Amino acid sequence: MFRRSVGVARRVVAPRLRGAHAWIRPQTLCTQCIKPHTRSAIRHMEPVRRYTAHPSLYLRTNADLPAQLPTMDAPYPSPGPDGFVTLSFYSFFSIHSIQTVRSHVQSQWETLGIVGRVYVSEEGVNAQLSVPFAKIVHLREWLEQDSVFRGRISKFNWALEHSQAFKALHVRVRPLVAAGVQVGLDVLAHEPEYVEPCDWAQELETPNALVLDMRNTYEYRVGRFDNAVCPDVDTFREELDQVRTMCATRPRDSPILMYCTGGIRCSVAGAVLRRDGLTNVKTLRGGVIAYGQHVRKTGKSRFRGKNFTFDKRRGEPVTSEILSKCDQCGNECDTFVNCAHTSCNLLFIQCTKCAEKHIGTCGRSLCVERAQMSHEERVKHKLPPQWSHRERVRPELVFRDGVAHNPLDN
């Protein structure tokens, strides 16, 4: 494609950063781009050298990539067919001016083509991202050079399967996990003992150990460690309350083993339990994601089934075992979907045959009808949410004879 250089070096004001300034060098844009600094233009942009409004950020072109990738994130995965890799990380540390940090991360990571979900709070950061493989080094450089994040983010927790798992980048100011109680850095300082994936099987043999699955019941449904206890609740807030109650009657030195998807829920829950006085609390470092990487290397697994993920993939297999059934026909299946009618959005397991039969919906006549409408029609005649949160994540409460039933239909 023919490309041309537009613009001249000029000084621009970045009001979000309270008067910070940036020198913008000439940029190479494709002929499809009309306004060089719009979001749509950034997608086609190939910066020659670009300084941004924050002095700690310096983006480079592919020609500037180091001959050897940084070793702290090795081994690097192969990207998916679309060129993206998926990763996660979290870290507990004090962040001031969180709205400024939020805006800074949103604007700078967008220029790298990163998509995903990032939570920023006064206690740190929690991120799940899909990153163009060519930009992985740039992201690590950004984290190591930025004044807020420098030295705070350890090795990336690589996913088991890679693709662009998110549509866009959303950076939000909110608690890192919805614990339901105030979990400040003073509490998080009581972090549990971390067990490496290679040592987890040995820990599971600990006599009288209570193995806690700190995920939701629907996550537990498609994959789990044998003999793990998953409280029958619908939110992490409820789960943490129940776990504290369960552990309150145990001896203080009683062994407690915890695991979750990527580790952060156990880091928080383990810190709360240790603050409560329990002294022998351990958690799987990196969660099921990191354990899955260990399984790929060794071929041995104490985890069975699939690891649920909160993105477009809806899960990634750790082993080939299928532990669940289609909510509509009862055949063996572990593929979670959301009803194609977005106002319904019911989360349930659906096999390919039922997906074809019900056009990707829960089978309600209303949902089938609306799934066949054009996007414009659905937006024009948008309906309110059809379920409570509990009903939406508990298909066993609403499915009868392979079809979801809602009192609103009567």
Q: Of the candidates 26, 87, 15, 22, which has an alpha carbon nearest to the alpha carbon of residue 57?
A: 22
CA 73 to chain CA centroid, Å, is 18
Picking from 389, 240, 224, the residue whose alpha carbon sits closest to that of residue 303 is 224
Question: What pLDDT band is residue 375 in, cutting at 50, 70 and 90?
Answer: confident
End-to-end CA distance of the chain: 57
For residues 289 and 307, the answer to whether their CB atoms sit within 8 Å is: yes
- Asked if 33 is an active-site residue, the reply is no
Q: Is the peptide bond before 75 cis (omega within 30 degrees of 0)?
A: yes
Long-range contacts of residues 241-248, Cβ cutoff 8 Å, at least 24 apart: 241/180, 243/212, 243/214, 243/269, 243/273, 244/272, 244/273, 244/276, 246/210, 247/210, 247/273, 247/276, 247/278, 248/276
Q: Which amino acid is at 1?
A: M
**Structure confidence at residue 243 as a pLDDT band (50, 70, 90):** very high
Residues 6+ apart with CB under 8 A from 204: 211, 225, 227, 257, 302
What band does 2 get if pLDDT is binned at 50, 70 and 90? very low
Instruction: Provide the pLDDT for residue 41.
Output: 33
Distance CA 336, CA 323 (A): 13
**Beta-strand pair 256-259/281-284:** parallel
Query: What average pLDDT does the segment 366-388 reach?
Result: 92
pLDDT tens-digit series, residues 155-186: 999 999 999 999 999 999 999 998 877 789 99
At 409, the pLDDT band (50, 70, 90 cuts) reads: confident
Confidence of residue 347 (pLDDT cuts 50, 70, 90): very high
pLDDT value for 179: 87
Residue 278 to residue 51: CA distance in whole angstroms: 50
Who has greater pLDDT, 247 or 60? 247
Q: What is each CA distance from 275 to 3, 137, 148, 278, in whole angstroms?
A: 59, 38, 28, 7
Report d(CA 77, CA 123) in Å as an integer. 30
63-121 tens-digit pLDDT:
444 556 678 898 999 999 999 999 999 999 999 999 999 999 999 999 999 999 999 99
Q: Which residues pair with 281 in a beta bridge?
A: 256
Q: Got the DSSP string for 215-237?
A: S-HHHHHHEEETT-B--S-SSHH
CB 284 within 8 A of CB 198: no
Q: 382 by DSSP, 3-state: which?
A: coil
Q: What is the model's pLDDT at position 130?
A: 98
Encode pLDDT of 266-283 as tens digits: 999 999 999 999 999 999
* Phi, psi for 96 (deg, rounded to 5): -100, 160
Q: Mean pLDDT score of the chain, rounded to an integer?
A: 85
The residues with which 225 forms a beta bridge, in sequence order, are: 303
Whether pLDDT at 22 is above 90: no
> What whole-number percentage of the chain has pLDDT above 70?
83
Confidence class of residue 56 from pLDDT cuts 50, 70 and 90?
A: very low
pTM to 2 decimal places: 0.82
Identify the pLDDT of residue 410: 66
pLDDT score recorded for residue 7: 36
Given a cut of 50, whether residue 35 has pLDDT beyond it is no
For residue 85, CA distances in Å to 69, 123, 135 come to 15, 27, 10
Q: What is residue 305's predicted lDDT score, i.e. its pLDDT? A: 98
CB 389 within 8 A of CB 178: no
- CA atoms of 94 and 231, how far apart (whole Å): 31
Whether the per-residue pLDDT at 238 is higher than 90: the answer is yes
Write phi, then psi, for 264 (nearest 5 degrees): -70, -35
Residues in the chain: 410
Candidate list 247, 260, 333, 354, residue with the active-site label: 260
Q: What does the pLDDT average to over 309-315?
A: 94
Asked whether 103 and 53 are in contact (CB, 8 A), the reply is no
Contacts 24+ apart (CB under 8 A), 180-184: 180/235, 180/236, 180/237, 180/238, 180/240, 180/241, 181/240, 181/272, 183/123, 183/268, 183/271, 183/272, 184/122, 184/123
Q: What is the C-alpha to C-alpha distance for residues 239 and 250, in angstroms, rounded to an integer?
A: 17
Percent of the chain whose pLDDT exceeds 90: 78
**Residue ranges with strand state E in 264-392:** 281-284, 303-307, 316-317, 336-338, 347-349
- φ/ψ of residue 85, rounded to 5: -120, 150
